[in-house]
Every structure is written in structure tokens, then in C-alpha cells.
Amino acid sequence: MTEKIYYFDNNATTKIDPYVLEEMLPYLTDFYGNSSSMHDFGGGLGDVVEKARKQVADLLGAEDPSEIIFTSCGTESDNAAINSAILSQPGKKHLVTSKVEHPAIINYFEMLEKRGYEVTWLDVDDQGLLSVDDVTGAIREDTALVSLMWANNETGVIFPVEEIASELKNRGVVFHTDAVQAAGKIPIDLKNNDITMLSISGHKLHAPKGIGALYVRRKTMFKPFVVGGHQERGRRAGTTPVAQIVAFGTACELAVKNMEKENTEVKKLRDLLEKLIAENVKSVEFLGHRDKRLPNTANISFGYVEGEAILLLLSENNIAASSGSACSSGSLEPSHVLRAMGKPFETCHASIRFSLSIYNTEEEVRHVCSVLPGIISELRKISPFTPAELR
Amino acid sequence: MAWKYSDKVKDHYLHPRNVGELNSANAVGEVGSMVCGDALKLFLKVDPDTEKIEDVSFQTYGCGSAIASSSALTEIIRGMTLEQALHVSNKDLADYLDGLPEEKMHCSVMGKEALEAAVASYRGEEYVHDDEDEGKIICHCFGVTDKQIEKVVIENNLDTVEQVTNYTKAGGACGSCLHQIEEIITSVRSKHFPETAPQLDTRGSTSPELKKKVSLYKKIKIIEDILDKEVRPALGMDSGGLDLVDVEDDTIYVRLIGKCHGCVNSEVTVEFIREQIEQILGEKINVVNVE
């Protein structure tokens, strides 16, 4: 890869931080032992795994590193949380979630519906916000689990999960949150809130793919999802991926350091991007609540054109972004998140998400904003729906 | 998802030919909508004496392959007579572009439909594919009719529901019409491609005499046997079960019990039971769930 890539798709995945890579490499080359082995060459690696566990716990503000279970990814963490909540409360057959969750939650819940569970799918408003009263109002005697994402991957909109957790505290309900997008971008302080379980993923915060974690609050009954060996104190079987865990821990430590930057510099760049687009492109709609959202995410809909076409033309200019359009999803239905916000199909088909990271620069933002207006105007020339004044 | 587009598709969406309105047009064909995610407006200038397409242009709302298909269509039909143009198939369009991804074949079908709509408008006919004569709507999400489905199945020799979705979008959203699409495919194929029509599976317990008329008593015995061996074990995996209530001609009445009773998926379950019994019994039956 020699050409410069303008990477604005950090909610999809992020680049591995060079320091993270440096820290993990020895465990892929020299120190390849199995940390469950009796010999020192393998078993000795237990210490670096525990150091990483502490680093992850620190990012989340967890009371004790033992509350962290390493998994293979965010999806596994989500699945494991649901699985544990229902297996440990066999009499309870009711679940609560929202209509804008990640497929790792939605598809699992839909599968459980077919097996006789009843799911309350909560609505969001046109800004993507969720009402705390709606959550508490949905709770029943037989509610086993409430699972709500901390921040939305498509819009960046933040749910008041800490407030919800505190409302649910004494109601005998497990509260899980998918914090895959939130972790590293906004502060998380588990020792001072009432969240029962929380999922995070390495590759969204500059660690490699293939590693995630599930936080399980102490004294919570836990039933394993992946069953086999005794790794992770019997809570998640499978040979410990030492290198990925080291990388994940290192990335979490960096994320703590970079949190400030994320909320000042990255936010400034995201705001600049939105400002330049608003100034230079007519008939655009900015989606999601303006303030209650992640500092790095912008979701913008461009009237009269279609999202995949925009992405393809951006890609020709080495710009990577993503879209809520049906055409780019592999299904024929556009973004379920924007649909749940009551956005019409044409708005969803035309939506583009730009998601930034600390690696983006002002020069890159300005480059995107110099290329984008031309692309939109080209596509509007081709579109039969563009009104005369926009041609 | 990143699509594998040919260089030619790329060339046509990066540099679309014949874009814009055509002021001298005397035929316009319009299909699709913003809601569906793609739309094409085709402008033709037709010589009234020779019916030759002298000039052509397009406007498209849609993804890269929709733009490329529209652009390619204008290049192909320029200079053709209307009659010749009507013989251009969606496959010709895809071939011209060195192929389209399977999931994007509906873009080439949209090109073909816009052309038909333009010709119809030129001839003073109204092109509405949800008209009575044009069949009834099967997919309500994308407004696709049975006639349109039949047509793509015949023209492109399709045999799976997934292919029909790729070519027409039908069934690609809520999925409630998937079963109807399957029935259309089966009936079209048995008419047009009888040599490849699926043979009824007559495995295991089907005795030769079954193919003749059997007594009701024997039929019930066989059905009970199928339920015991094939159906109940499957339902049991989800902690469900069923009772056979009655058999009347070709209708079998069952009652779902256990977890299957009142399950949101009971329609799927009933469909599964019907398939199991039909397969072995070798004749068309209805299964009715009496709650």
C-alpha cells in the first residue's frame, strides 16, 4: 500500500497503534508458549496476561481485574452476556432491548424469541435518544435481562446507561451494555455505577481484531458461553491468545491517556468536518442528537443521491467512509438504526457515516471536504429527483 | 460490503455516458423510486418514420451498478429500432458490462424495464406493472408482481428464491413473500424447463401402492408414522410437539403443543410439517393448525 488513505471509518475498525504492535510482537515470535502450561516458558506468560487484564479494568474503571473475561470479539461478549443472563435465571422469559442495537444483540434476541422468550423492543426518538421511563416501564416480574448499547455505532448517539442501571439496581434484573463504541471515547467508571455486564472490543480502539472482553460485576452469577478448558477461571474456555491480550491491554492503557485528546482534538475535527460540509453542500441533514453523541462520529444524509454511489466515488479518491444505504449493506433494507429514528427511506439510502480517530488530521478533514461537494454535485446531476436549483 | 465490480462497470459509474434530460425526447420511461433505493428515467428521441432511436439519455438515482447499467443501456440501444431495442435483455446489459455481481442483477432488470416503459410511452400505452393485466403484486416492499418474477425466471433461467431476489429485489426486505416466490419459480420451471423440474422425493416409507389412491385409514397410519419419525423429534428439540387432530381429504389438522403452542413461528412450523408429509406422501396437502 503506497497511496495515502484518508481513513474515516473508525467505528468499523481502527488501525493498530504502532506501540501496541511493538508490544505484542514478541508474543507472536519468541514467547509463543501456552499460558496454561506447567513449564515456565508457557505458564510464565500468565503474568503478562494479568497485567493486560488490569489495563483493561483500568480503562473501564472496574473495581477488580477479575471482573474482566477475555473473549474473541465484541459479538462474543454480547452473546456471552445474554447467554449467561438467561441460563442463570431459567424461570424468567422476558428481555428488554432497543431497536437500534448491534446485530450481535438483535439477532440473538430474535433467535430467543423463536425459542419462546418475549422481547420488548424499545423505540428511540428522531434524534436517536432513548427514554429512561420507557426502560423502567418495560420491566416485569419475569424480566431476565435489559441490554442497551452505551453508544450507537451508526450515529454515535449515547444512551443514559448509568442512569438506567441505577434505576434497575434493586429490581432483580441483569443490566448489560454493549460499550464497544463507547470504550476509549468517553469515560467509563464501573466502580461508581450499577452496570452488571459490559462488552468491549479491541479493534475499535487500536488493538488488533480477534480480541474482546466482557466485564462481569463481582457476585454476579455467570454461566460460560464457550465451554471447554479451565481458562479465564472457567468462564471462557479456549487457549489464551497472549499476544492479542497484551495488545488489547496496551491499547486500553493508551486509550486512557488519549481520552482527553479524543474529546477535544478529535471532536474539533469532527465538528470542522460537519461545518465545512454544511457550508459547501446544500440539502444535507445531520443525523443523531447534536450533543449526546460520541466525539468522533458524524452521520450525514445527502438529499437526492444514494449512499453506495457516494462511497464508491469517495473510494476513488482514497477516502474510506461507510453508509446506511441498502445497497452497501448486502441486504436490500437500509439502516435499521435510521429507520428506528423514523427517518424516511430516502434519508437512510443517502446517509454517510464519517468516524474519526486520533490519527486523523485537519489536513485530511479539509481534503475530504474539498472532494465531497464535487462528488455530491456530480451525482445530483445524474439523479432524476434533483430539483433545478441544486443542479 | 465491497462489491466486485468489473473495470467496465467502474468505468461507467465513474464516467457515465449520456447523462441528463433530453429536450428533444419523444419517449420517456420511468421506473423505480427513491424509497426503493434506485430509479431510472430514460429519454429517447425516436424517428417517427423508421422508429430508430436517434438520441438517448438517462437520469439515475442509485448505486454504482445502477448508474453503470443505465449508462450501458444508452450506449447499447443508440441507433437501434424500437423493435431491436426491445430484444435487448437484462443479460445483454450485464454482459456488456463484463458481468454484474449476482446481488446487483436487479440493476440490469431495471434498465430493461425503463426501456420497455419508454417504448410503451412512445406507443401511447401506459406502462404500469402493477396493473391487473400485468399481474398481482407479490412483494409489497418493492412492488414486484408475479409477472415480473415469471419473466426474470424465464429470461435468466433462474431456479432459486435468492436469485429472484437478486434480479428483482422481491423478498429482499421483510421476506414474507419468499414462499410465494418459490411457488412461482416451481410453476414457471415446470412449464418452461420441465426437464429440470424437481422430482418428488419418495424416500423410505413410501410404498409403491402409495402412489395409487390409498384409503383414509392407511393414509392416517402413514401420516402418524411421519409425524413420529420426522416431525416430533424435530419439534422436541425446541421443547414442543403436536397432536394429530383430524384428516379430511387433503387437509391435515394438527394442534401444536408445548413450546410450539402459540409460538410466533408457528407458521414456519406448520410449513415444515407440510413439507415433511408431502415429501413422503408424494401428494399435495394442506396442514391446518387448530389452536
φ/ψ (deg, to 5) at B214: -110, 160
Asked if residue B251 belongs to a domain, the reply is: yes
Asked if residue B201 belongs to a domain, the reply is: no
Asked if residue B229 belongs to a domain, the reply is: yes
DSSP string of chain B, one letter each residue = ------HHHHHHHHS-SSBS--TT-SEEEEEEETTTTEEEEEEEEE-TTT-BEEEEEEEEES-HHHHHHHHHHHHHHTT-BHHHHHT--HHHHHHHTT---GGGHHHHHHHHHHHHHHHHHHTT----TTSGGG--EEETTTTEEHHHHHHHHHHHT--SHHHHHHHH-TTSSS-TTHHHHHHHHHHHHHHH-GGGPPPPP--TT--GGGGS---HHHHHHHHHHHIIIIIHHHHHTTTEEEEEEEEETTEEEEEEEETTTT-TTHHHHHHHHHHHHHHHH-S--EEEE--
Question: Which range is least confidently modeled, A29-38, A367-376, B150-159?
Answer: B150-159
Tally of structural domains, chain B: 3
The pLDDT, as a whole number, for residue B1 is 57
The pLDDT, as a whole number, for residue A269 is 98
Taking an 8 Å cut-off on Cβ atoms, the answer to whether A327 and B38 are in contact is: yes
Which among B83, B104, B122 is the end of a domain? B122
Asked if residue B202 belongs to a domain, the reply is: no
Reported confidence tier of residue A144, pLDDT bands at 50, 70, 90:
very high
Model confidence over B29-54: pLDDT tens digits?
999 988 888 999 999 999 999 999 99
Taking an 8 Å cut-off on Cβ atoms, the answer to whether A327 and B37 are in contact is: yes
Q: Do A97 and A105 contact (CB within 8 A), yes or no?
A: yes
Reported confidence tier of residue A135, pLDDT bands at 50, 70, 90:
very high
What is the pLDDT averaged over residues A291-298?
97
Which among B172, B196, B220 is the end of a domain? B196
The residue ranking higher by pLDDT, A92 or B233, is A92
Using a 10 angstrom Cβ sphere, with 0-12 exposed, 13-18 middle and 19 or more buried, the burial of residue B90 is buried
What is the pLDDT averaged over residues A268-273?
98
Reported confidence tier of residue B133, pLDDT bands at 50, 70, 90:
low
3-state secondary structure of A102: coil
Q: Is B31 found in the same domain as B116?
A: yes
3-state secondary structure of A199: strand
> Distance between CA B123 and CA A309 in Å, rounded?
34
Q: Is B88 found in the same domain as B182?
A: no
Q: Is the pLDDT of residue B207 over 70?
A: no
What is the set of active-site residues of A?
Answer: 327
> Distance between CA B202 and CA B200 in Å, rounded?
6
Q: Is B100 found in the same domain as B19?
A: yes
The residue ranking higher by pLDDT, B162 or A372, is A372
Residues of chain A in contact with residue B60, where contact means CB-CB under 8 angstroms, are 382-384
Of B94, B92, B77, B97, the C-alpha closest to B14 is: B97
Residues of chain A with CATH 3.40.640.10: 18-254
Nearest to B34 among A114, A116, A346 (CB): A346
> Distance between CA B5 and CA B68 in Å, rounded?
10
Instruction: Supply the range of the domain harboring residue B192.
Output: 132-196
Q: Is B221 found in the same domain as B284?
A: yes
Which among B122, B147, B174 is the end of a domain? B122
At B26, the amino acid letter reads N
Residues of chain B in contact with residue A316, where contact means CB-CB under 8 angstroms, are 14
Reported confidence tier of residue A377, pLDDT bands at 50, 70, 90:
very high
The CATH number of the domain where B235 resides is what?
3.30.300.130
> Distance between CA B109 and CA B102 in Å, rounded?
12
What is the pLDDT averaged over residues A78-94?
97
| Count of Cβ atoms closer than 10 Å to residue A126 Cβ | 12
> Could you tell me how many CB contacts below 8 A there are between chain A and chain B?
88
> Distance between CA B170 and CA B141 in Å, rounded?
8
From chain A residues 337-376, the ones with a CB under 8 A of any chain B CB are 344-346, 349
Interhelix angle B105-122/B161-168, rounded to 10 degrees, is: 50
Reported confidence tier of residue A79, pLDDT bands at 50, 70, 90:
very high
Taking an 8 Å cut-off on Cβ atoms, the answer to whether A332 and B172 are in contact is: yes
Q: Is A91 on the interface with B (CB under 8 A)?
A: no
Question: Which range is least confidently modeled, A110-119, B98-107, B207-216?
Answer: B207-216
Q: Is B106 found in the same domain as B15?
A: yes
φ/ψ (deg, to 5) at A52: -65, -40
Asked if residue B2 belongs to a domain, the reply is: no
Q: Is B33 found in the same domain as B80?
A: yes
Residues of chain A with CATH 3.90.1150.10: 6-11+259-379
The pLDDT, as a whole number, for residue A328 is 61
The pLDDT > 70 percentage for chain A reads 98
| Count of Cβ atoms closer than 10 Å to residue A92 Cβ | 19
Q: Is B103 found in the same domain as B13?
A: yes
Q: Is B242 found in the same domain as B137?
A: no
The pLDDT, as a whole number, for residue B224 is 83
* A75 Cβ neighbours under 8 A, 6+ residues apart: A102, A104, A212
Taking an 8 Å cut-off on Cβ atoms, the answer to whether A385 and B34 are in contact is: yes
Model confidence over B60-106: pLDDT tens digits?
999 999 999 999 999 999 999 999 999 999 999 999 999 999 889 99
Calculate the average pLDDT of chain A: 96
Q: A319 - beta bridge partners?
A: A6
The pLDDT, as a whole number, for residue B273 is 84
- For the structural domain made of A6-11+259-379, what CATH number should be given? 3.90.1150.10
Contact residues of B toward A, CB < 8 A:
1, 13-14, 16, 19-20, 30, 34-41, 59-64, 66-67, 103, 142, 165, 169, 172-173, 238-239, 259, 263-265
The pLDDT > 90 percentage for chain A reads 95
The CATH number of the domain where B152 resides is what?
1.10.10.1100
Q: Is B139 found in the same domain as B118?
A: no
| Count of Cβ atoms closer than 10 Å to residue A370 Cβ | 12
How large is the ipTM? 0.88
Of A142, A143, A106, A136, the C-alpha closest to A121 is: A106
> Distance between CA B11 and CA B8 in Å, rounded?
5
Cell 424437481, located at residue = B198
Q: Is the pLDDT of residue B201 over 50?
A: no
Class of domain A18-254: alpha beta
Model confidence over B137-166: pLDDT tens digits?
898 888 888 988 998 999 888 989 999 988
Asked if residue B203 belongs to a domain, the reply is: no
- CA quadruple A42, A44, A46, A51: dihedral positive or negative? negative
Rg (CA), chain A: 22
